Structures are given as C-alpha cells and as structure tokens.
Amino acid sequence: MKSVEITGNMDSKRKLLMGLFWTNRKGVRSEGCAPFLIEKIETENNTYTPDEGKFLKLSEDILNDILENIDDKKEVKFDIKLGEEDIKASFKDNVFSVDTTKTKDLEDEIIEKIGQEEKRKYPNICFSFPPRVGIRKYP
C-alpha cells in the first residue's frame, strides 16, 4: 500500500475526484479500456454496493456521505475493479492510499501523479470522468 498526503488548498470533492481519476487513468495503462467499476464504498456508518447487474455510482446521497466523512477526517474505503486489477483505495485525514493486487508498480505511479497534481489549485481531471462515476455537478 502506498499513500500520499493531499495538502493542496482544494475542497473534499476535488480531492476525491483527483484520487479516483488518477487511479483510473494510471490503471488504464496496464488494463487497457476495461471499465472502472466501484464495487464497494465504506464510510463510517454505511456500506454501499451496487444492485445486482448495475454499477455503483456516486449518487448525490452517497457522495454527500463520502464528503461528510472526508471533511470529518473519517476513513472512506473504496473497492475498485479495473480489468483484472483489484484496487483498494481510501481517504483519511487528507491522506489518499492505494493498494493494488496485480501490478504493484501501479501504486507508485498513482501516488506520484497525485502528489504532483495535489500541488495545483485545480488538478487535471478529464471533464468526462465525474459523470462516468455518477457525479452530475462538477465542480
């Protein structure tokens, strides 16, 4: 598992999107065009999983729960599937952590890129990414 502290002056939503976006973007390099599937999200009081045959999206209710936990410095965990890669990611106390099962070098690539991007007020996030994970309003 690799981690990076996100100290840049940005809101929790940007931090979340930056972590998920660069996890996806770097993962695609090893897994090709496989879909980025969030299989489970755990906050302090809730566990979210998709309905059978559906994808888990960051609906307004789920997103609000996640952001509230991030703002309160509580841990939020994500189980992500990208092709054959199983990724565990988490946020706690402004620290983004990632653990991969297949390609361990991927952890370094993700953390390094987030470390570069977190220094920016507006980190690079592809405009099509938020809607793909269910976020309708961005920024």
> In which band, very low, low, confident or very high, does the pLDDT at 102 lie, cut at 50, 70 and 90?
very high
Q: What are phi and psi of 2, to 5 degrees?
A: -120, 150
Give the pLDDT confidence of 37-94 residue by residue, as tens digits: 999 999 999 999 999 878 899 999 999 999 999 999 999 999 999 999 999 999 999 9
Q: What is the pLDDT, as a whole number, of residue 139?
A: 67
Give the separation between CA 41 and CA 47, rounded to whole angstroms.
6
Please report the beta strands in 6-121, taking only residues with DSSP state E, as ranges in sequence order.
36-42, 47-48, 76-82, 85-92, 95-100
- Residue 100, pLDDT above cutoff 70: yes
Interval 13-32 mean pLDDT: 93
Interval 108-113 mean pLDDT: 97
Give the pLDDT confidence of 120-133 residue by residue, as tens digits: 878 889 999 999 99
Q: What is the pLDDT, as a whole number, of residue 7?
A: 87
